Amino acid sequence: MEGSAAIFVAIDGKLEGLLELSDPLRLETPRALRLLRRAGVRRISMLTGDKREVAESIGGGIGVDEVHAELSPAGKLACISQAARSHCTMMIGDGVNDAPALASAQLGVAMGARGAAAAAESAGVVLLIDKLDRLAEAKMIAVATMRIARQSVALGMALSLLAMAGAAAGYLPPLDGALLQEAIDVAAILNALRALRIHPLLSNRINLAADKVQALREQHQQLEPLLAQLSDLARALPTMKPDQQVQALQALNGLLRNELMPHEQADEQELYPAVSSLLGGDDPLAALSRSHQEIFRGIHRLSRLFDPLQNPIPEAAMQDIQRTLYGLEAVLRLHFAQENELFSSLSP
């Protein structure tokens, strides 16, 4: 149900546990799709060999128009061929299974940093930086460049026709006409050089230093075990002995107050004001600050529900504690994902 694969582990024929494996979504993918739509892409489809349940859960979350799951390389090729009958097609992929579809699409784009060599050889474009949002930036630059190129061509031809008309009417001597043509060429070239000053929508990401973004990611990675511990404890509480319940909740409460709360408070007091000054507006990070309030409220609620003197914990309090743990984990995971996406979009 979580869109992952489970590997059951047995020792001497006795089941001891399972390993849960999942392929995380690229951090920049949702933002890249939004920017591609803004750049003029009208329909986005997801072609994958994963199971339909996993594909639909991911595809619905990132906002694609349609999901084609459980596809073989031939199936992906068939989808691209069918779409090419009525649309200009662009295929993005990084695996060996994507190579036939990349070669068949009118524009194949391979993720070259960590993708398979077969995909890079089959594609017409290779992204050397393994970030999907660079594709949206490239499209914006290409559209603006073509617009300037057409303007330069129209400008040069229009001025040349006017000069030819003046020369035919006898108002422009040959020497003056030659000099004027050189001036027209220089004007067209100068207009074309405006392409060097194109600033796509992604240019604002340079305002936040990459080391700050990396530091934020590392902090989130360090807190990841704590997030997993919230749901693990919520599931295990009913089966634990009373003294184990008390010890586990005391340890978790200490981690939340000594590790998680200082991190969120530092973000609210130091990081958010700095980022807000870059984004502009009255309070651009109000939604993230609201998440902080919910996180602090969840931590305080857990402390109020948990009384170490009550041993065993009453059934009603046990259920409230479990609900609080699950809710706190959900808010934290959403909050971390929002922070990662926002600050990654502001980095080089």
In contact, 234 and 328? CB cutoff 8 Å? no
In a domain, 144, yes or no: yes
Last residue of a domain, one of 152, 168, 203: 203
pLDDT computed for residue 6 by the predictor: 83
Both 63 and 104 in a single domain?
A: yes
Q: How many CB atoms lie within 10 A of CB 155?
A: 16
Both 308 and 331 in a single domain?
A: yes
Nearest of 246, 261, 251 to residue 229 by alpha carbon: 251
With vertex at residue 125, the alpha carbon angle to CA 338 and CA 217, rounded to the nearest 5 degrees, is 25
Both 213 and 341 in a single domain?
A: yes
Count, residues in the chain: 348
pLDDT computed for residue 2 by the predictor: 57
In a domain, 3, yes or no: no
Both 165 and 286 in a single domain?
A: no
Both 234 and 165 in a single domain?
A: no
pLDDT computed for residue 311 by the predictor: 65
Kindly give the parts of the chain with pLDDT less than 70. Answer: 1-3, 27, 113, 115, 201-208, 280-281, 307-311, 347-348
In a domain, 188, yes or no: yes
pLDDT computed for residue 174 by the predictor: 86
Instruction: Give the CATH number of the domain where residue 98 resides.
Output: 3.40.50.1000
pLDDT computed for residue 154 by the predictor: 92
Residues 6+ apart with CB under 8 A from 344: 27, 28, 213
Both 73 and 35 in a single domain?
A: yes
Both 52 and 104 in a single domain?
A: yes
Last residue of a domain, one of 116, 135, 154: 135
Within 13 Å and on the Cβ side, how many CA atoms surround 163?
A: 19
Tell me the two tokens of residue 106.
């009118």
Both 62 and 107 in a single domain?
A: yes
Last residue of a domain, one of 203, 229, 258: 203
In a domain, 231, yes or no: yes
Both 145 and 126 in a single domain?
A: no
In a domain, 250, yes or no: yes
CA distance linking residue 89 with residue 177, whole number of Å: 47
Tell me the two tokens of residue 84.
């090419």
Nearest of 38, 70, 39, 41 to residue 56 by alpha carbon: 70
Domain membership of residue 194 as a residue range: 139-203
Both 341 and 214 in a single domain?
A: yes
Both 329 and 216 in a single domain?
A: yes
pLDDT one-digit tens code per residue, 209-223? 777 777 888 888 889
Nearest of 143, 142, 135 to residue 44 by alpha carbon: 135
In a domain, 17, yes or no: no
Task: Count up the domains in the chain and report the number.
Answer: 3
In a domain, 65, yes or no: yes
Q: How many CB atoms lie within 10 A of CB 163?
A: 19
